[in-house]
Structure 1
């Protein structure tokens, strides 16, 4: 079976896509969907983990059920380089779910979840306590329309087949 430039064949992409939708399926159940035996699926999954294609397996928690229903995106601008050790220490704040260096009017974008606006305000105060931080801009999400993991099955070929421009 031909592999793409990333070393993945069609079965790899389908298998990774199924795992990203719900890793609690058994290898036998996944194997039926991709046309492989359970041991063959197991070997591929071991290879994905060994090569870093699968970084980890975790449970997706319901934010409301864990008391963290306020989702916000915080743009942080700093003096100097954004990837300084001091700025990377933001990773240690438990409210920070994602941290991205970006180009534009900020150097970092944080995805954060807190209990409420008071907790967000307290987090922002801790961020502002960092000497490197110059400014922040916060965007509170009112609702989430789409949130999904990396999509292993999306390729340029598939995109061309499914994308229909509007007239």
Structure 2
């Protein structure tokens, strides 16, 4: 990826509905070049999809909860696969430290967290324990990434 690709990525992650002309202007290239590069970035999975940013409250997912999960190796891969398939799970990270995974949930309320942990997480063979942390207020939540090259 060169600087133009990075500028295109930055432009489309900020506004997935931006016109080809606007993307080309942001990258400083002709529209045809921007279109060709955009197609290539999508076909090689640099751009993984086009998404709308939803208001969590309005769609019934107003509670953000972070769950630290302790897992044993036996059954871990199956547990990860099951959790990754669940729409409530926004993120799942294998982490360093005293816990195995950090999971971000977006659900309606505390009862939904309790039901999810009881019916989905705790029955998994690999799960040894969980610790939940509830967000009292979300000040920033974004899927946008800082777009840079490793050598910059």
TM, length-normalised to structure 1: 0.81
Matches within 5 A, 1:95-106: 95-106=88-99
Number of residues of Structure 1 aligned to a counterpart in Structure 2: 150
Contact 1:17 1:153 in 2 (8 A): no
Select 1:69's aligned residue among 62, 69, 78: 62
Counterparts in 2 of 1:120 and 1:80: CA distance versus 1, 3 Å: same
Q: Which runs of 5+ in 2 are unaligned?
A: none
User: Could you say what the CA RMSD is over the residues aligned between the two structures, in angstroms?
Assistant: 1.8
Select 2:147's aligned residue among 152, 155, 162: 152
Question: Shift of residue 29 of structure 1?
Answer: 1.4
Matches within 5 A, 1:72-111: 72-80=65-73, 83-111=76-104
Select 1:138's aligned residue among 132, 144, 148: 132
Select 2:46's aligned residue among 28, 49, 53: 53
Q: Within the alignment, does 1:35 sit opposite 2:28 as a pair?
A: yes
Between the aligned partners of 1:82 and 1:23, the Cα distance in structure 2 is 38
Between the aligned partners of 1:94 and 1:69, the Cα distance in structure 2 is 14
SS for the counterpart of 1:88 is helix
TM, length-normalised to structure 2: 0.88
Deviates more, 1:82-91 or 1:35-44: 82-91
Which structure has the greater CA radius of gyration?
Answer: 1
Question: Shift of residue 91 of structure 1?
Answer: 1.6
Q: Within the alignment, does 1:21 sit opposite 2:46 as a pair?
A: no
Question: Shift of residue 155 of structure 1?
Answer: 5.6
Counterparts in 2 of 1:80 and 1:61: CA distance versus 1, 3 Å: same
